[in-house]
Structure 1
Amino acid sequence: MRRPLTLLTGQRARLRWVHLILGGALFMPYWLVGTLIVGPLTGSSMFSASVAPQFGAYAIGLPLAALTSLFPLTRPMSVAAARALCGVAPDGLADGPARGRDAKARTAGWFTLHLGIGALVSGATLALPPFAVTLMVLPFSAGLRESELASFWGADRSGPLWLYVPAGLLMLVALAAVAAGAGAFLARQAPRLLGPSRADRLAAAERRAAELAVRNRLARELHDSVGHALSAVTLQAGAARKVLDSDPEFVREALAAIEETTRRTVGELDAVLGLLRQGDDGAGGELPGPDLASLDALLKAVGRQAELTVTGELERVPDAVSREAYRIVQEGLTNAARYAGGERVTARIGLHDEELEITMENPLPGRAPVVRPDGGRGLRGVAERARLLGGTAEAGPADGVWRLAVRLPLGGLPRGGGR
């Protein structure tokens, strides 16, 4: 007994009933337009007791509702109402305006169905309860049986008066059952008519891909900047500790390099964290950071173990390529500091035929490096940076040294910018 009662009068049923009444309220302007058209043809007013003009206006209002459902705001409003009142799972409905012919047609179908069924249920909700209550009170009120209201509803006719009470109750139960059934029907149709189309799924996939690209981009910046700083500081501190008593000049240089490295890294970290605080708008913009013009400071932080050779006019390199090239050199130096055991690192950067070439070499370590639990992300980040710019990256042992070779094309990126 409790389950049928819950289905008819529970919270979900009541919310769906409100959703239907909302549809009926939205249908009223279309129905009024229909009465203005039907009225002169039938010679009746909008408040006529005849059923035919009312349903005529209803039939005219439905196509008008379907036509106006093509406005972009129709689907977002319908989806919001269905989620809040119909109990439809949020992931089963689409977000944003309808895109494409199929999505617009399904949105029009839902809007017309909601308003059409809502108008009928709303009309019954307004008319049936007063009539049912009048029937139930009729056996106990002689004045009501003789009133014009009872005569208008046909409730003053002779018959067993006690039958009016269960008849009124059955009418109220039938109304609740119809409203619950209509609400459940709309809830089942919502995912099919308001669900995401192929265009919506493609747009959602593109948004997720863009968000993932931004996250990977920020992760690479943090890894390269902070990882290099920690490696450089560790290298300089370790070297200074070994010659603390014998070479004070080197110790002073190492401490100065540590100070400069940490100061620069804090600035880069603040810039990246600033983008995170700005949200999607900020993270989608241009990432700030050092470029090839800052290589001298980078090599100074590494110390005496690095040698750089530059050929060509690096001023011609677009800013986007210059920043990525700086990070690639930085990662190469970080790997060398971690694995080369203090051996000298040689780096060559040259601009040849609209292509930036980066080559870094260091002697192979005497013993195999310790394998990190996550496999390391540095070389993977170098490959991703090169690939995003349309270039290539190769790393591995060659001719007795560890070699990192990267080629970055300049074409396709505007000078002074480019993302």
Structure 2
Amino acid sequence: MNRLLGARAGWRWVHLILGGALLMPYFLLAQVVVGVVAGGVNALDSAPLSLLAYALSLPLVAATALFGPVRPMSVVAVRAMCGVPGEGLADGPARSWAARVRASAWWTLHLGTGALISGMTLAVPPMAVVLIAVPVVGRLGDVRLGYGWFATDTNPYAAPLVGIGLLAGLALCAAGAGQLLARTAPVLLGPTPADRLAAAEERAADLAVRNRLARELHDAVGHALSAVTLQAAAARRMLERDPEFVREALAAIEDTTRRTVGELDAVLGLLRDGDPDRPDAAHAPTLATDLDGLLARTRAGGTTVTAHQDPGPTGDWAALPAIASREAYRIVQEGLSNALRHGAGPVDLRIRVRTGSDPGVGSDTGSDTDTDTAYRRLEVTMTNPPAAPDDDREPRTGGGRGLRGAAERAALLGGSIEAGPYGDGWRLRAVLPLTGDDR
């Protein structure tokens, strides 16, 4: 009974009636054409001509549905009225002719079926009311009840049963048609392979943005917290013995936090859709703009960092492709953060641009060449001993989120990273190709 008279059945009935209303312009146009062809008669006065006009209106419905925003409108209506799960329907306009044809078939089915149910909804209830009222008002004279089903000599008490049967039949037809549309909607309005591919690409792009934001937040904030923690600890230990060191440590903490707040605001700006002042990636720190500052802030915490820099023939980190310089800076920052959190100084950092025929990550050897076809790459190598057994720093057991993020950064440029035990300490080594275009 709920399937016939429940709320869902009622909404599906309304959905069908809306389809019948949408068919009316097509039907009126077709009945004018049929009337003219039939010799100027009114097609509405003839049941056969009305049926012919109905049949001719369906191709018009199908043709117009190929070029309009039929699928988005239909999907919204089906979700709201037919109780079809949203994941079974496609979002957005049709992206291919196959999807348009399927949407056209749905539009034709909806409007065609809706017109029949609408016609029945208009005709059956008055007929049923007349039949139910026969025992009360008599046999209605010599009128055969207006429908030719009962003669004046028919038992009047049978008419109400027929009227009730008509109403039940109408409810059954409406429920069946609504169920048909609900089952057909995922087939004709469901996602095509092109829709699934577009959705997968959108999810992949969204995931890439999320990963990028996670990397930026981890690298900027994580390094700052590690550096500030060690700088504050070093200042506390040297408070009485070396006030000048404490002053430098506090200045480094101030500079570190100020820079981190700026970077945090830049990253969060990426989350503000439609923000015209959203900072561009070009404003992120690079080897050219902040490598010396990064090293100074790390040293302010009491960690000894020995840096060997070789920018190549140009002698300037600014000559590197911007994206390589940005990602290399973050990789160096992550390596220093790991050294601050898990290791003990000194840290040996080597950054150099090399030109050679062997782009492998695992080899530190190989002759440099100066040919036009040589493979240019940026190599970052960082080594440091582990923390002492009585040190309260975290023991290093392997790469965490930061190293995974650094590996993702390198992979985006076609490079790679190695990180792990090396001799009696720990080594991080990254190779970033420099043969691509500047981005």
Structure 1 window deviating more from structure 2 (18-27 vs 60-69): it is 60-69
CA shift, 1:350, in A, is 2.1
Alignment correspondent of 2:52: 56
Deviation at 1:318, TM superposition (A): 2.5
CA RMSD of aligned residues (A): 2.7
Corresponding letter in the other structure for 2:194: A
1:248 aligns with one of 243, 252, 259: 243
Listed one character per residue, the Cα deviations across residues 30-49 of structure 1 (whole Å, up to 9, x for unaligned) are 1122112211222331421x
- CA shift for structure 1 position 157: 4.1
Alpha-carbon distance, 1:57 to partner: 0.9
Alpha-carbon deviation of 1:146?
A: 5.6
**Counterpart AA for 2:340:** A
TM-superposition CA deviations, 1:200-229 (whole Å, max 9, x none) = 111111111111111111111111111101
Provide structure 1 residue ranges, at least 5 long, that are not aligned to the other structure: none
What is the CA–CA distance in structure 1 between the aligned matches of 2:317 and 2:146, rounded to whole Å?
A: 98
- Three-state SS of the structure 1 residue aligned to 2:270 is helix
> What is the rounded CA distance, in whole Å, between the counterparts of 2:402 and 2:332 in structure 1?
11
CA distance in 2, matches of 1:413, 1:65: 52
Deviation at 1:141, TM superposition (A): 3.1
Distance in 1 between the 2:333 and 2:87 partners? 43
Asked whether the 8 Å contact 1:17–1:180 carries over to 2, the reply is yes
Give me the identity figure in percent.
Answer: 55
Counterpart residue type for residue 325 of structure 1? A
CA–CA separation in structure 1 for the residues paired with 2:168 and 2:278 = 57
Matches within 5 A, 1:4-403: 4=1, 6-43=2-39, 44-48=41-45, 50-141=46-137, 144-145=140-141, 150-151=145-146, 157-278=152-273, 286=281, 288-292=283-287, 293-303=289-299, 305-312=304-311, 313-341=316-344, 343-353=345-355, 354-367=376-389, 370=394, 376-403=400-427
AA partner of residue 306 (structure 1):
V
Q: Retained in 1: the 8 A contact 2:383–2:428?
A: yes
**Contact 1:276–1:282 (CA<8 Å) still a contact in 2?**
no
> Quick check: 2:269–2:279 contact (8 Å CA) kept in 1?
no
Change (3 A) 1:211 1:397: same
Secondary structure of the corresponding residue to residue 108 of structure 1: helix
Measured against aligned partners, the alpha-carbon deviations of 1:291-323 in whole angstroms (never above 9, x if no partner) come to: 121112111111151232322231122322222
Q: By how many angstroms is 1:258 displaced?
A: 0.9
Q: CA deviation at 1:370?
A: 4.0
Contact 1:99 1:199 survives alignment (8 Å): yes
Could you tell which deviates more after superposition, 200-209 or 398-407?
398-407
Distance, in Å, in 1 between the alignment partners of 2:296 and 2:138 is 106
Q: How many residues align?
A: 408
Q: Is the 8 A contact 1:394 1:405 kept in 2?
A: yes
CA distance in 2 between counterparts of 1:276 and 1:86 reads 36
Deviation at 1:365, TM superposition (A): 4.1
Contact 1:314 1:351 in 2 (8 A): no
Question: Aligned in 2, Cα 1:299/1:204: closer, same or farther, shift over 3 Å?
Answer: same
Give the letter for the 1:65 counterpart: V
Q: Deviations over 1:114-134 (max 9, x none)?
A: 111111001111112112212
Contact kept in structure 1, 2:18 and 2:114, CA below 8 Å: yes
Q: Which amino acid in 1 is paired with 2:101?
A: A
Compared with structure 1, are the counterparts of its residues 270 and 182 closer, same or farther at alpha carbon in structure 2 (3 Å cutoff)? same
- Contact 2:4/2:175, CA 8 A, preserved across alignment: yes
TM-score, structure 2 as length reference = 0.85
Q: Is the 8 A contact 2:90 2:190 kept in 1?
A: yes
Distance 2:193 2:154 in 1: 62
Q: Is the 8 A contact 2:134 2:140 kept in 1?
A: yes
Matches of 1:403 and 1:45 in 2, distance apart? Answer: 91
Change (3 A) 1:15 1:240: same
Match of 1:408 in 2: 432
Q: Alpha carbons of 1:350 and 1:375: their partners in 2 closer, same or farther (altered >3 Å)?
A: closer
Q: Which moved more, 1:302-311 or 1:137-146?
A: 137-146
Aligned residue in 1 for 2:360: none
Contact residue 321 and residue 389 of structure 1 kept, 8 A: yes
Distance in structure 2 (CA, Å) of the matches to 1:120 and 1:206: 42
- Equivalent position amino acid for 1:200 in 2: D
Deviates more, 1:81-90 or 1:320-329: 320-329
Deviations 1:151-189 (A, max 9, x none): 576766442222222211111111111001110111111
Q: TM-score, normalised by structure 1?
A: 0.89
| In structure 1, distance between residues paired with 2:399 and 2:351 | 28
Per-residue CA deviation, residues 320-340 of structure 1 (Å, 9 max, x unaligned), is 222211111110111111222
The structure carrying a bigger helix percent of its residues is 1
Measure the CA separation in 2 of the matches of 1:71 and 1:85: 24
